[in-house]
Amino acid sequence: MRSLISYLNKIWEGVVLGLFLAKTNFKLRNEGSYLGILWYLLEPLCFFVIILLIGGTINLNPVEFYPLYLFLGLIMFNFFMSSTMLASKSITDSSHLLKNIKINQESLVMSSVFQFMFSHLIEMAVFLAFMIYFEANFLNLIFYLPIFFFFILFVLGFSFMLAAIGVYISDLPNIWAVLSRLLWFLTPIFYVMSPSSLYQKINYFNPMFHFINISRELIIYNNMPQPPTLFFAAFFSLLSFSAGLLIFRKLKHKFAENI
């Protein structure tokens, strides 16, 4: 019990240090830049404009508030992909720190996620402007707070796993770049799936499908998501976070000698 409490205290210390490191890195990335924080918006906005221009949905049925449907999916997946990509090399890129000073290793992974959390908040501010423009009920954004809490847990857990495994597999960032892009196409970000389609059944095992679907239903369409979707989202969050921490804790003692 004492060891568990001690480890939870270390996790909290990692959260505090991770936020500090993320804030510092966020400022450094924008220092001396002409566009500053707008660089974080370029990728999702470019994809947003391109997909709108080439016709939007794959199916023949129009989607209500399609620009909102598309943009919310893009920025949520962008947060997941950017955070995990940076986290996958967060330990290996910090070899000089691990070999020379004693540092909370969990904070290095958390800072990767928190850094893109700041940019995600900026993207959500743009999404709010879109909601006002399209006359959607922007007050529904309050529902994103509990969704984002579980979403953060999921991304953190996945990031811990990738960071730990990345120490032993040097090509992991490249592998994950390919796999995450495949997941991007599998997830219904810019298209709508038929409820009886094979892709729909496959996506039941895709955590990103559930998080994005819940967010769209609550925020854009003011609908209560189906209970199975809520269950799967919570399940994947807790499973990812607990498994990620467990794997990271088991492997972190040998990081310094393997990087």
Q: What is the mean pLDDT of residues 118-125?
A: 91
The 3 state secondary structure assigned to 120-146 is HHHHHHHHHHHHHHCCCCHHHHHHHHH
Least trusted range by pLDDT, from 21-30, 114-123, 172-181: 21-30
Distance (Å, whole) CA 225 – CA 75: 20
Least trusted range by pLDDT, from 36-50, 99-113, 133-147, 194-208: 36-50
What are the tens digits of pLDDT across the range 165-175?
Answer: 999 998 999 99
Q: Contact at 8 Å (CB) between 227 and 234? A: no
Q: Is residue 54 pLDDT above 90, yes or no? A: no
Q: What is the mean pLDDT of residues 199-219?
A: 94
At 186 the pLDDT is 93
Least trusted range by pLDDT, from 6-20, 46-60, 83-97, 101-115: 46-60
Task: Give domain limits for the chain.
Answer: 2-258
At 135 the pLDDT is 93
Q: Is residue 124 pLDDT above 80, yes or no? A: yes
At 10 the pLDDT is 72
Longest Cα pair distance anywhere in the chain, in angstroms?
59
Distance (Å, whole) CA 202 – CA 78: 21
Q: Is residue 216 pLDDT above 50, yes or no? A: yes
Distance (Å, whole) CA 196 – CA 190: 18
Q: Contact at 8 Å (CB) between 171 and 178? A: no
pLDDT confidence bin for 232, thresholds 50/70/90: very high
pLDDT confidence bin for 163, thresholds 50/70/90: very high
Q: Is residue 187 pLDDT above 60, yes or no? A: yes
